[in-house]
Amino acid sequence: MPAAAATTTSDRIHISACPVCGTRDFRPFVTVGPYSVVRCPSCRLAITNPQPSDRELGEIYGPDYVLVENDPVGEAMVLRSKRATADHYLDLLAAAGVPSTGKLLEIGCGAGNVLRQAAARGFDITGLEYSPYAAERARKTLEGRGRILHGEIGVLAAERDAYDVVVLCDVIEHVRHPADFLRDLHRLLKPGGTLLVVTPSLDSWSARVLGSRWMEFKAEHLYYFSPSTISRQLTGAGYERIALHSGTKKLCLDYIAAHFKKYPVSVVTPLVSFLHALTPAPLSNRLFSIVASGLVALARKPGAPA
C-alpha cells in the first residue's frame, strides 16, 4: 500500500527514562540529520530521542551496511585492518587472564573477522548476526569453522551459562534496550565468564575535538556511552571487575581515507583526502595503532570459572 511506504515520523520511539540512571529530564545535546540527541543531566549518557522507527533502521541496515569494498585491493586493506584490530581485542582478553580454549560468542559478528582470529587462537566460536548478508559473509570467512546463527538474541535463549567469553564490538550503541540486552548476555555467560564491549566513547579525543561533527554521530546510534556510563550500565546488569581501555584501532591512511570518503565529515574528509594524496603508497598502506573514538570494557559475571 502506498501509505505504508511513505516516510512518517509518528512511529519513532520516545525514550522517557535514562537506561543508566532512570532520570526523566533530558537536555538538548546535538542534532544528527533529522534526529535530536539529548543528554542525561545526571549520568551524562547521550540518547537519540526520539529514536528512528524499526522501518527507518531497516532502511539504514541494507546490504552495504558492513563496509565491504568491491575493489579487491580495498577489501584486502579493510580485512587487514579489521583482523589486526580483532587481535588487539583478543590480546586484551589474554592479558586479563582469559584462556583462549573456551567457548566464545560474538553478537553482531559482521563479516566474521573477530571470530576468525579467535578460532585461530583456539576458541570454540559462535557468531550471531542480524543481517543475513553479513551472516552469509561470515560463513565464507570462517570456511566451515564454528557456528554462525542468523537472527536476534532470542535465538540463543536456551543457552544459559554456556559461554566463557561474549564479545560485543560496536553493537551496544545500536540496541534499543541496552540494560535488558546486557542482562541477556549475562545469562549466556558461564559464572566467571568475561564480556568484552567495544563502543564509541563521548570521552574520546575525537569526540572532544570534533564536537557536533564527531564521526560517531549516526542515525543508527541510539545511545552514546562513556567510560562512566558503560561502567554503570554493566554494574546495573550484574557484572563486576570492570576494566576500561581506550579503543585502539589498527588502521592505515588508505583505510581512513576510504572511510571518510564513504562517510563524509565536513573539514575532516577534505583534510584526510589531502594528507592521503601527499603520502607515498608504501607509507599510506602501513598499519599503525590509533586511539580513535571508542572504548573497550571488560566485565566479569560473578562466580568462579569451572
Q: Which residues form the interface with Zn ion (CB under 5 A)?
A: 18, 20-21, 23, 40, 42-43, 45
Cα gap 226→230, rounded to integer Å: 6
Beta strands in 130-282 (DSSP E): 147-150, 163-169, 189-200, 223-224, 240-251
Residue with cell 538474541: 153
CA distance from start to end of the chain = 55
Please, what is the minimum distance in Å from the beta carbon of residue 42 to Zn ion?
5
Question: 149 by DSSP, 3-state: which?
Answer: strand
Please, what is the minimum distance in Å from the beta carbon of residue 97 to Zn ion?
32
Cα gap 262→272, rounded to integer Å: 12
Please, what is the minimum distance in Å from the beta carbon of residue 233 to Zn ion?
10
Please, what is the minimum distance in Å from the beta carbon of residue 145 to Zn ion?
41
Q: Quick one: 194 or 233, whose CB is closer to Zn ion?
A: 233
Q: Residue 154 has which C-alpha cell?
A: 532470542
DSSP code, position 53: P
Q: Quick one: 45 or 114, whose CB is closer to Zn ion?
A: 45
Q: Quick one: 26 or 163, whose CB is closer to Zn ion?
A: 26
Cα gap 181→157, rounded to integer Å: 12
Q: Quick one: 20 or 134, whose CB is closer to Zn ion?
A: 20
Please, what is the minimum distance in Å from the beta carbon of residue 175 to Zn ion?
16
Q: For residue 280, what are the contacts with CB-CB under 8 A and spacing of at least 6?
A: none
* Peptide bond just before 50 cis, omega within 30 deg: yes
Q: Are 57 and 69 in contact (CB under 8 A)?
A: no
Please, what is the minimum distance in Å from the beta carbon of residue 205 to Zn ion?
23
Q: Quick one: 38 or 134, whose CB is closer to Zn ion?
A: 38
Please, what is the minimum distance in Å from the beta carbon of residue 306 to Zn ion?
36
Q: Quick one: 21 or 219, whose CB is closer to Zn ion?
A: 21
Nearest Cα to 226, choosing from 4, 75, 20, 62?
20
Please, what is the minimum distance in Å from the beta carbon of residue 19 to Zn ion?
8
Q: Are 191 and 303 in contact (CB under 8 A)?
A: yes
Q: Quick one: 43 or 169, whose CB is closer to Zn ion?
A: 43
Q: Quick one: 21 or 67, whose CB is closer to Zn ion?
A: 21
Residues paired with residue 126 on neighbouring β-strands, in sequence order: 105, 147
Nearest Cα to 303, choosing from 193, 192, 194, 195?
192
Tell me the CA distances in angstroms from 179 to 21, 235, 299, one per residue in order. 11, 10, 14
